[in-house]
Structure 1
Amino acid sequence: MSNNKKQNICELITELTCLLKEYNRCLEVTPSEFIKSEIYEQEPNETKSYYYESFLQMMRFYSVYEGTVALYKSFHKLRQINKEHVTVLVYVIMNFFHKSSYTTIKIAFKMFSSEEVNRLLQFFTKEDNLIDIAQMACRKYENDFVLEQIMVPLTSCTSSFEWMLKERESERFEREQARVKPPTKPNPPKCATVVKRTPAPPGNTPTLSLSTFKRSHIPRSMYNKTSKIEEKLEACKTENRENARQLYLEAQKNSFKCARELTKFVSKTTAADSETQSVVPTSSVTFKHKSVPPFKPVFVKSNNTTLLREAALISKDQQKEIEKIENIVSGGFDINIAQAIEEEIRKDEEARQLQEIEKKHLKGLLTYEQSLLAKKKLLKTNKLKMEKFQEERLELLKEIERWREEEEKKIRELVEQAKSIEKGAKDAERKMIAEKRQNAALLDAENKSLLQQAYMERERELQERAQLIQELRSLQQVRILHVKEFDPTETPNLGLLCEMSIAELKERLSIMRMELKEELENKRKRISEEKHRQQQMIESVKLYIKDARFVKLKKKKKKRIVHLELTPELIALRTKLQEARKANRLGQSIVVG
């Protein structure tokens, strides 16, 4: 009989886990319906019917078992568990283990892994966990039921669970003692191995040697100028001047009008100036004319408002044209005179714009020449600043070397102080750990005594609650409930003229709903008709705009050439530019000489 009982418990756990997994896969099905479907699919035996009955019993109080699983998970701080498997184990422990012997429990636990068994035993042997289970169950069921069906079986099993835990710990200790230590491998001598020494740490600040910044070596041939070198330099200069003059003349021929020099308004120079001008080129910079980029039409996304605006503008323009023609027919003012005046105004505006462009061009050239002179002055000042910087740098390097030596001394002193502080901290830490251990032992003893008192008080409260519940039940049985039948056609009889029954109110509500539906349908029809009318109007406006654009494209504008007029401002700017170029040429000749 005992062997059959052991096998029954093991098979029961496996069968219940399978049934619970299948039931969780189903949606919106009660446990009784699920069992009926299982019986319909398979022919029931005695064992199967026993499993089905135990499954239904488990599902009756499933909330209790689910709550204990949640407590088990939080106690061990587990992230993932096999929920169905653990719930079945909890059900078996609460309903079967208190009836079975110690050996059957031990054999049933052999089915599972040692870690899982240890966790379950640790959970059910703790008194705090049993109190939490009782509180959780009392929230859902009566106190008497919780005491008889849950707490009594668990408390009866705790002694066997504790004994089993001790046995498992002793077995584990014996296994560790009996484990054979592997033979030690002989270590090779230190002289055979190559020692890998760690590199020395770098200093606090890198040492900057004074020899890093050196002047470049000047060859001896530069000190004494020979006649051959001077002759070669003069020949190269003359060739460069000839090439520059030819390039300048070609640029003057091929350049556009506004960039050419006019001899009428230039002041007469002396013979010496003319000779220098013939020899020295003005500048080797050529100004190339850039082509005008092609016009890309901008695509504008049109909507109803833009279409209506464009149509209104086109209609206004057409009305103006009609009025002009009517005025001419009736003998009014001739439009050709107005067009001639407009043409003159436009030409004056174009001439003014050309003068502005020429001014900007000449100002740009003048700033370029002035920048060359400023650059030469800046190079001289930079040389002087560099010499001062080199002197200051040498002084700074010496000061940095002194500062580095002082910092190294300070760091050594700080390291010694830190070592002494570290020793004192370690001693203080040891003393603190010993005090903490003593305090922890005292706290554990106090906590145990407090928990025992709380458990006794909780049991007393549960008994009082059970008595109160029994009294309330007896009072509820004495009560008699008077139920009145409801008649929907009956009026409230308040003495008012507007009194109506619920049936009449429902009829009126249905009539009002029908009227509202008819009104909504009429509104929808009117809105759709209005939309259709607006769409037709927009289409007609689009056709009107398309015709107007086609007429505008036929009209072509004639291009007119505008000549540049010279003003005293332009003449003054050109004279300033020539003077700046002369100054640059003289400066170059002095440097080359």
Structure 2
Amino acid sequence: MAYQGECVQTVVKQLSKYRPQKDSPEQFLDTVSLDLQELSPIKRAFILDVLSGCLEYQKLLRTVVDAFYARDGRFCLWADYSLFEVICYLATFHVQELGFRLFRKIVCSQPRDKMHKFLRFFFNPINLCSWIKDEWSLVYETTHVKESWIDPLMRLQPEIQELLRELETASANQASVVKAKTKVTEPKEFKLTVPRPRAIPMPKRAPVLAKPRPVPQSTYQLPPERQQLERTKRYNRWLAEELLLNANLEELRCAMPRARRETPAEDSRKLRRQATPRIQKVSKLTFYKPNSHMPVKLNAAAILREGALYQRQVERELQRVDSLVDGAGDFSEFLGWQKKMQAKDREEQLAAEECRRLHGKLSHEEAILARQNVLQENKHKAEQKKEEMVGLMQQCAERRLQEERALKEQVERVLEAEKNAKAAQTKLWKSRRQAAQEVLAESRELLQRSAQEASEQQRQRCELICQLRALERQPTRKEKLVDLTQIPGHRLEGEMSIVELRERLALLKEAQQRAQEEKRDQIIQGKRARSQELQDTTERIALCRAAMGRAAALRLEEKKRPTTAPGSQDERVLELRRRIAERTAERRRQVAALRALAPRAARPRLREKLEAQQWRELAMSRQQRLRALQQEQRLETI
């Protein structure tokens, strides 16, 4: 039976690979059994038995191991977590089957210092009878926990204490041996040869380069012929611009007869400024649509700024009216001609956009027709494939019925074997229950003695507390009489009593409070005047905004008016619309034909439902087969 020590390492390695979030216990045991096919049947059965027990009672084992890491095993490695679980399972469930001698060998084959710490924590009578028993009772019944697990562990206390002393001496000897082997390193000097001194080389003379000739000045200048040509070009361009500007000014002067005649130079400068656009780099701005229902709350600076802006606009409008009264001209004819030309350009642009849109719609209709043709071809192919699948599914159904019959026979055999195993297990439980009752009686006597000692200590503590409280309640007089009207008499300037000092402080506070109230009244008056001024400004702003809104609405209505007659359309647009109508009529005819044939295509849906049901039944039969095989393997291990 010496193979169990080697098998424990295999169990620890496999248990560390188990992940409860991803793996199920049954699948995990199946994969482990496949990996252990090379071992002998005895070793394989022992490993699978211990591993399945650790997975079954994992909640009980983890409560003990987690508490060990929190209290006594703070300096132990988390890599040994699975080792402690296996040792806890063997000590709780398999000590009587293996025998204490074999259990001692298994424990001694592991690291002795770790085993000493864990067994000392686990077999502590206080831990077993208090919190371990309570935690296990939350998962299983209290009577079962006490009779089946706690009492057998309490009966093993003498043998376990002897094993702990042996592990303690072995770990101490091992630590002393390790300390004796360590040696201190002694540094030694390096034996290096002294290098010879290097000879200093003679410096080389730096080569002297010849002085280059300077670059001639004509390299950076244009030849005189080119300069003369550039001057004549600039002059001719300026002369042509002057002549063009003078001709334009003569045409525009007819609209402004009483205006002040400007010189041609001033006219040319003004038109140049208008003709030359000012290019400025502006960062990209994000504009949001204003919400007209919610009023915008402005601060004082914004109100004053907007009031000054509207004031400047009003003054500018008054100046324009004065100039019109004096006889200045108007640009209404020019603006009308400009609007007509813009409307004509807009019509051409809209016609081009409509043509592009109709071209896209036409291509879309043609693509739909091509897609419908492809769908019809695919439907014919799909019907042929489905007819072939119906024949195959019938063959699969016949095979499935034969397999189900074989599985039912196998399940009946497994149930008969389980009944025999349960009868043997009940006999074993009865023998263990009798031994557990004896240990329970002994533990009750120990607990009664400890309870009596604790009650005696509690009584003595209560007596001491009563005596201390009685001493604290004795009255002690610590009062001292003080006269607040008496002067201390330290011979200092301005020396006064406490009452006089309080009166002077009260007068000083009243004076400060009066000054604060006066200052507060001044601030309130200034705020009221400021708020009245802001209110007047906001009223003026509201009036200006209403006027500007009405003007903007009028301009928007003028823009929305149709500039062209509804009957005038481009010939290209009409031709494209005619072609689109033909394509849509053809597509609708194909859709109507497909709808007329739709009831015949309802049969494949019934076939699909039958196929899905048959595949589902096949999957259920496979699961039942796997469960039956797993039950057979468990019975073989038992």
Q: TM-score range by the shorter chain?
A: 0.3 to 0.5
TM-score (structure 2 length as normaliser): 0.35
